[in-house]
A and B are shown apart, each in its own frame.
Chain A
Amino acid sequence: GAVVSQHPSRVICKSGTSVKIECRSLDFQATTMFWYRQFPKQSLMLMATSNEGSKATYEQGVEKDKFLINHASLTLSTLTVTSAHPEDSSFYICSATRLAGATYEQYFGPGTRLTVT
C-alpha cells in the first residue's frame, strides 16, 4: 500500500497560537490531498481539498482564513490552524490519493491530535 505520514502526531498549544500540521506522501506523488477532522465518537468530516499549486477548496462551514492550507509539492501539504481555540481541539487527519488503474485510491495519514488549552 501507499504510505502517508503526518507530523506532529500530537500537539498541545495555548489558545490564540497557531499550529502547523504537515502531511507527506512518502512513496508516491499524490494527485490530491484532503484534510479531515474527527471529533470523539463522530464521523470523519472533510474540511478541504488540496491540489498542488492551486488554492484549496473548502467545505461549507469551514473558515478558510482560520484553516490555512498550503500544497507546496506533489508530496507535501500543510494545514495551519490559526488563532486556535479550545473548540478546535480535535483529531486532524490528512489523506492523499493515488491513481490506481482507472480510479483513485485514498490513503490516510496517522492523524494529528490537537489539544488547545
Chain B
Amino acid sequence: QKEVEQNSGPLSVPEGAIASLNCTYSDRGSQSFFWYRQYSGKSPELIMSIYSNGDKEDGRFTAQLNKASQYVSLLIRDSQPSDSATYLCAVILGNEKLTFGTGTRLTIIP
C-alpha cells in the first residue's frame, strides 16, 4: 500500500464548478498535510496546509481533514482555466520530510 494515494486523473471540471480532489494516507502518525499545485514544467507551489480535523478555507480553496478516516481533500470553488494543473497531496510523519502522492491532473473546461 502506498503511503499517500491519489487518483491520477485526469479530472475534468467545467469552468465555474467545484473541483474536488481526494487523498488518503496510510500512516496514522501523520501530523501535517499539504496541497501543492504544479503547472507543467514548473516546480510545486504550496497552496494549502492543514493540521487539525475539519475544514480550512483560503479564498476559493478549502482543505478538509479527517484523521479517523485518514482522508484529506481539496475543494476548489468557482474553478477557473488557470486552475488546470497537477495537484499533489503531501504529508509529514514526524520529521520535516514530505511524502507525496503521485498527483491528480485537473483540467478545467471553459
Contact = CB atoms under 8 A, between A and B. Distances in A.
Interface of A: 1, 31-32, 34, 43-44, 46, 49, 91, 93, 97, 100-111
B42 interface: yes
Given A103-B92, A106-B34, A49 B46 contact: no
B46 A107 contact: yes
Contacts of A105: 34, 46, 49
Contacts of B88: 44
- Chain B interface residue bracket vs A: 20 to 34
A34 B34 CA distance: 16
Contacts, number: 50
Contacts of B46: 1, 105-108
Contacts of A111: 42-43
B49 A100 contact: yes
Contact of B96 (A1, A31, A43, A91): A31
Contacts of A44: 44, 88, 100
A46 B103 CA distance: 15
Contacts of A107: 46
A46 B97 contact: yes
B51 A110 contact: no
A103 B92 CA distance: 9
B42 A104 contact: no
A62 to B, nearest CB: 14
Nearest to A6: B43
B89 to A, nearest CB: 11
Contacts of A32: 96
